Structures are given as structure tokens and as C-alpha cells.
Amino acid sequence: MKIYNTLTRKKEEFVPIKEGKVSMYVCGPTVYNYIHIGNARPMVVFDTVRRYFEYKGYDVNYVSNFTDVDDKIIKKAMEENVDSSVISERFIEECKKDMEALNVKPATVHPKATEEIDGMIEMIQTLIDKGHAYPKNGSVYFRTRSFADYGKLSKKNIDDLEAGHRDIKVTGDEEKEDPLDFVLWKPKKEGEPAWKSPWSEGRPGWHIECSVMSKKYLGDSIDIHAGGEDLIFPHHENEIAQSEAANGVPFANYWMHNGFLNINNEKMSKSKGNFFTVREIGEKYPLQIIRFFMLSGHYRGPINFSEELVAAAKNGLDRILTCVNNLEHLYDHAKEAEITEDEMKLMDEYTALSKKFEEAMEDDFNTADAITAVFDMVKLSNLKITADNTKECIESVLGTIRVFCDILGIETKKEEEMLDSDIEALINERQQARKEKNFKRADEIRDMLLEKGIVLEDTREGVRFKRV
């Protein structure tokens, strides 16, 4: 399996630190509002990477944080006149709902920055003790030049950075030893949440949070660190500097970054009026289509969101789901018999396509080519699988397509249909509720059945139901 490593700018064979295990840290959102469609791309991409590792038999420890203390969260809390934790907890829950709607699996751990402050204070003190950081007027700064490899991820030269920095006036620069030093701890301002530390009552800088959460839940060295390409510099660069300066070992062996998501070939921004949350997109399209759309291009390249491209993704997904439905119908009516020689040859064709899917995924998770392999399976099924095939053959084909759709996070199984006996029991309960004039409960039952695709008809002979 080859992964494109941002650190080396080339594809490398994946070799885990511990055989059979993958430690993976993905930078999560800052929770001050609903997540936007750009936030969703790394969630979908790296969830798919995780699913493929699990398909290959790896035990994946997948950590993705919530940044729940930040200037934007504090600003919104002040606007609403509530504690900042009210804002962060509200939008953590909303984020989880959006992730579920996108069929993104919950992380092994979703740490919150505010619950890991002690670890941050400890790492900052270690950096001070080792001469990589210094306190000043209640703040603590990282000595960027003390880390010899600074710039190795972004390929930025520190002298060029300093030259470019001279033209920019940055608040707080006057108390730094070097304008390129970055903050690890900052003293509180009025109305801000704060924690006690040896340097001041205050809060951590953004970069130190991920270094500490990764260390706590995955260890000093991890297999994969991932996120959007906008995080390469300065966030991930600073994480490397802090972590390796504190721990004395390489931080992450593989760095993976997804490309930007543009709207109609333009960068998404509120000023352009092309800024969309996942919740807003979900009102217009089923989010399964959006997930499929995001996987239709390579994760490292930019992806353009437009009505036409989403419509194309919908058509493609419909082809797959229609094929699955047809196979389910054929399976339900298929004959029980031993698999034939012709069917064995047909199975070989599916095996070749399965190999094509795996080869695509093992070439830096090329989901676009993997989806092409699924389309080829659909085409083969539509041409070759008929009512004359055996149950065993159809089950094998259906199972193969479902497995690969599951890796892509595409749901192919319908919700289990309610049994007629369960429906009758609910109808009887509704009738009893109506006799007792409990019309609220009677309406609840009718609505619940309607959600399951079951319509009730009140007739002279009693209540009947039909599935729609």
C-alpha cells in the first residue's frame, strides 16, 4: 500500500509502527458554528481511508479532536451572553449529527481541547526546561529557531519567512525574542475562559492542543497525521516542532492532506455568497450523494462543487443502488442449487474487478478509480446476472458490491421492513388510543408508520394498511 507523504513529497510504502495496527490523528473542527461543506471533505476522505485499513484487517486507533476553546467561540459566546462551553457543546452535538448524516464513523476518541489542559501545561513546561520555549509577561512562546528542522513539512525556509515577516506588524511581536516565535500559552482577557498555569491564568495556543491530544491517545510517534492542505503551514509545521522538540522522536511517519473544495470554481467565502454549511446542503441533496461526489475525485486534488457535478454523482450513485435492488430481488426469487461452471467463470471476472478496486485504493487511496471498478461490477451484473442464476452466485455478487460500497461509506442496505404482526399490533394500540380519546398517541402511531412507508386507511370494515 502506497501513501503520498507530504513530508517527503512522494508516494511511500506504508509500514506501520506496530504490525497490524494503525495510529491516525485527524485535525477536527473548531466548534463555533455548523460545519461547512469544506470541513466535511477531510471527514469523508479520512473516514474512507480508515475504512479501507479496517477492511485490510488493521486495528485502527483513529483520533479526531474538537477545538472547543478559540477566539471565534469566545466571540459568539459574548454575542449570546453565555458561557463559551454552551457554544462549543451545542456545535459539537450538531457536528456529530452532520457526521452521522455523511455516514462518517465516530472516531475511536474525540478529545476536547478543554479537557486536556493539564497535558498542555506539562508539555509547555517540558519545552521551557529544554530551552525550546520561554515565558514572557504571562505568555509562553516557542523558540522557532531552536528547532533545526523547522520548515521540513511545508518546505519553507526560515530566513525567507523572517524576511517576509518584517513587512507585517503583528500584535505581541514586541515581547517575542524573534518575530517567528509562536504562542504556546496566553494570559486571559476580560470575559474569556481561563485555566491556572505556572505562567498566568489563561489558555493554550491552538497548535499545542493537537500535539498533546495526539501524544495522549496515540503516543509520541504515530503512523499518520492528516487534515486539509490549509493546515500544512503553520499548524502542522508548528505541531512537528513542538512535539519533536518535547518528545525527542519523530512525530508522524506519514502526513496526508486533502485538497480544497471550491464552489463553482471559486474559493468558498461568505463575502462571495457561496458559503454553505453541511446542514444547508443536506436540505437540498441527500448527504449520501455528497459523500459519493467527494470520493469521485482524488483526495489530494481540488474538487469543484456545482449543481451539474452533484447531479452527475447522483446519477452514478443511482446506478449502483438500482443494481443492488435488482440483485436483492433476484436473490429473493433465486433457485437453491449448486453453483454452475459458467457461474464459477463469472465469479473470476468479479475477482478481477475486486483486485482492480484494491489496486486503486492501495495507490494512495484513489477512490475515483475504485468507484470505476464498482461501476464495472454494476455493468457486469446488469449484463450477466438473471433470474436463472443460483442463489449462491447472486449472494456472492451482491456481497462483493456491498463490501466495496461499505468501504466508500455508501449505504446499500434498506432499513428492515416491519413485520405485518408488528404493524397490526400498532394498529390495535392506535384503535384503543382513539377509544380512550388519546388522539395525540393515535396520531403519533400513524406518523411513525408513515415514516416507515406504511399508510393507514380507515374503512367501514376496519383499518387497513399498505406499503408505499
The DSSP secondary-structure symbol of 113 reads G
* pLDDT tens, N- to C-terminus, the chain (468 residues): 999 999 999 999 999 999 999 999 999 999 999 999 999 999 999 999 999 999 999 999 999 999 999 999 999 999 999 999 999 999 999 999 999 999 999 999 999 999 999 999 999 999 999 999 999 999 999 999 999 999 999 999 988 887 665 444 445 567 999 999 999 999 999 989 999 999 999 999 999 999 999 999 999 999 999 999 999 999 999 999 999 999 999 999 999 999 999 999 998 887 888 889 999 999 999 999 999 999 999 999 999 999 999 999 999 999 999 999 999 999 999 999 999 999 999 999 999 999 999 999 999 999 999 999 999 999 999 999 999 999 999 999 999 999 999 999 999 875 555 667 778 888 888 888 888 888 888 888 888 888 777 888 877 767 878 776
Decide if 153 contacts 236 (C-beta within 8 A).
yes
DSSP assignment of 24-82: EEE---B-SSPPBHHHHHHHHHHHHHHHHHHHTT-EEEEEE-BB---HHHHHHHHHHTS
What are the C-alpha distances in Å from 75 to residues 82, 114, 173?
10, 17, 23
Q: Are strands 261-263 and 303-305 parallel, antiparallel or unpaired?
A: parallel
Decide if 7 contacts 232 (C-beta within 8 A).
no
Residue 35 confidence (pLDDT) = 96
Residue 168 confidence (pLDDT) = 43
Distance CA 90, CA 62 (A): 23
Number of helices and strands in the chain (H, E): 15, 15
Q: Cis peptide leading into 234, omega within 30 of 0? A: yes
Residue 281 confidence (pLDDT) = 94
Decide if 88 contacts 276 (C-beta within 8 A).
no
Residue 180 confidence (pLDDT) = 95
Ranges of H-type helices in 363-437: 367-384, 391-407, 420-435
3-state secondary structure of 204: strand
pLDDT tens digits, 378-394: 999 999 999 999 999 99
Which grid cell sits at 113? 481541547
Non-local CB neighbours of 128 within 8 Å, separated by 6+ positions: 134, 135, 140
Distance CA 131, CA 145 (A): 11
Residue 60 confidence (pLDDT) = 98
Integer-rounded Cα Rg, in Å, for the chain is 27
